[in-house]
Amino acid sequence: MTLAELLPSIGCSTEPVLEEGLWPDGTRLDGADLVIGGVPATQLAARFGTPCQVLDERTVRSRARAFLRALPDAEVVFADKSLPCPEVYRWMAAEGLSLDVSSAGEVALARAAGFPAWRIVLHGNVKTSEDLKAALEHGVSRIVVDSFDEIAQLGSLARHGQEVMIRVTPGVDAHTHAAIATGVEDQKFGFSLASGAALEEILRVVEQPSLRLAGLHCHIGSQVRHVASYEETVRRMVGLIASCGVRIEQLDRGGGFCAPYLPGESSFDLFGFSQRVLGVLHYECAVHRVPVPRLLVEPGRSIVANAGVTLYRVCAVKRGVTRTFVAVDGGMSDNPRPALYGAKYAVRLVGRGGKLRSATVVGRHCEAGDVLAEDVLLPSDVHSGDLLAVPVTGAYHHALASNYNQVCRPPVVAVRDGVARPIARRETEEDLLRRHV
């Protein structure tokens, strides 16, 4: 259902109401202003400029804690690629989470944050020798291997007893966008369970004197809504554990827990997940008579997505033949997700109300696909200088940002209890020039 179709069901109200479940915890309206983490959005925009990525610290921490509460015996590993930022890693460390990194660059950020190496996992479908060396040098606790070449390379680089996990492709369809489905057969991630490659790989790692097999790993994709996909994955993974005849101590179930992006979408049922997945794990292990491995989960998006709000300034309004285009001072450089995956967003105007009308919010970049949100409701007199707020921008925004058109990347501003502070500053033209000769 589009927002325009939803309009009658909310009574054509021009009174500002906050969409439920999308905004950071405790976000409220103060008149027409939007207060995030105790700080009015109009103040944030005036002080830090726009576009500005606002991140509510309390929401991040409370989502991290929710995972620990739902899975008290599991290791909860924050997938740092969703929001690579040393300050956020420090929050995760303080809350008792581990960290998932996927490159030498992410190792460097984790190192800068002082994240304990014994709680860092390195994964990724391709790791260069620089990635592996950086991880080994920092002493990361586990490396998830994803190819024959990598095992050979790691075998010669690693010190004695480096713990590894094997990335398995369980052949489970997560029912998500093809660009973020990683559990099905015949894509670039992991060793196939069905073809026997995963089993072969387990035996190969066991034979490597410098490596120690710590466990098996799988990740079926992102924005996964169905707990059934996770249950089926665990069932297949335990089958593999039983058939390999090797003691497997850890089973990493990956991440992918969905976050709501539009009004009416529900949050991931974490409690249902823990009940059902732990149930299947214990049942299948009993049936196959294998010890129950320790479960690991790797949430990224579901911890940070709804903690983020991006603020934009309207630069121009164009009336097309059938549509109104509202052009803002950001776009695909700070949010390429609509262009990459057809991602959809809600948008609200901050600072005043008015009769609502459907509009398309577009970015400033030289691409027709640079559209941030189609068919959203904004006051019909929306004009340049207006402030727009887009919720659910905490995950894969800062991470995927580029400086296309040499637009400087926005800052990340953390808010908490009425205090705002940048945890990543805005990129400057000096930063842009620094790399050029």
Ligand X SMILES: *Cc1c(COP(=O)(O)O)cnc(C)c1O
Placement of tokens 């202003």 in the chain: 33
- Of all helices (H) and strands (E), which one includes residue 312? strand 308-319
Footprint of ligand X on residues 212-271 (CB under 6 A)?
219, 222, 254-257
Query: Active-site residue numbers?
Result: 366
293 is in an annotated binding site: no
Give the start-end residues of each E strand in 181-307.
Answer: 191-192, 211-217, 250-252, 294-297
Q: Which stretch binds ligand X (CB under 6 A): 58-66, 192-200, 276-284, 299-307?
A: 299-307
Write the CB contacts of 88 (distance below 8 Å, at least 6 apart in sequence).
Answer: 55, 60, 80, 304, 423
Total site size for ligand X, rule CB under 6 A? 17
Our CB check for ligand X shows the closer of 276 and 357 to be: 276
Q: Is 123 in the site for ligand X (CB under 6 A)?
A: yes
Please count the CA atoms within 13 angstroms of the CA of 230 that sit on its side-chain side: 31
Our CB check for ligand X shows the closer of 300 and 308 to be: 300
In whole angstroms, the minimum distance from the beta carbon of 342 to ligand X comes to 16
Q: Is 298 in the site for ligand X (CB under 6 A)?
A: yes
Task: Decide if 170 contacts 237 (C-beta within 8 A).
Answer: yes
In whole angstroms, the minimum distance from the beta carbon of 222 to ligand X comes to 3
Q: Is 79 in the site for ligand X (CB under 6 A)?
A: yes
In whole angstroms, the minimum distance from the beta carbon of 433 to ligand X comes to 32
- Conformation bin of residue 223: beta by default, left when phi > 0, alpha when psi is -120 to 50: left
Task: Decide if 40 contacts 28 (C-beta within 8 A).
Answer: no
Q: Is 84 in the site for ligand X (CB under 6 A)?
A: no
299 is in an annotated binding site: yes
Our CB check for ligand X shows the closer of 174 and 413 to be: 174
HEC secondary structure over 355-401: CEEEEEEECCCCCCCCEEEEEEEEECCCCCCCEEEEECCCCCCCCCC
Write the CB contacts of 275 (distance below 8 Å, at least 6 apart in sequence).
Answer: none
Q: Is 301 in the site for ligand X (CB under 6 A)?
A: yes
Q: Which two tokens stand for residue 177?
A: 């966008």
Q: Is 81 in the site for ligand X (CB under 6 A)?
A: yes
d(CA 426, CA 131): 27
300 is in an annotated binding site: yes
Task: Decide if 209 contacts 188 (C-beta within 8 A).
Answer: no
Footprint of ligand X on residues 99-118 (CB under 6 A)?
100
212 is in an annotated binding site: no
**Amino acid code (one letter) for 373:** A
Our CB check for ligand X shows the closer of 131 and 298 to be: 298
In whole angstroms, the minimum distance from the beta carbon of 352 to ligand X comes to 35
In whole angstroms, the minimum distance from the beta carbon of 259 to ligand X comes to 8
d(CA 60, CA 48): 21
298 is in an annotated binding site: yes
* Binding site residues, ligand X, CB under 6 A: 79, 81-82, 100, 123, 219, 222, 254-257, 298-302, 395
Binding-site positions for substrate: 301, 337, 341, 367, 396
Binding-site positions: 256, 298-301, 337, 341, 367, 396
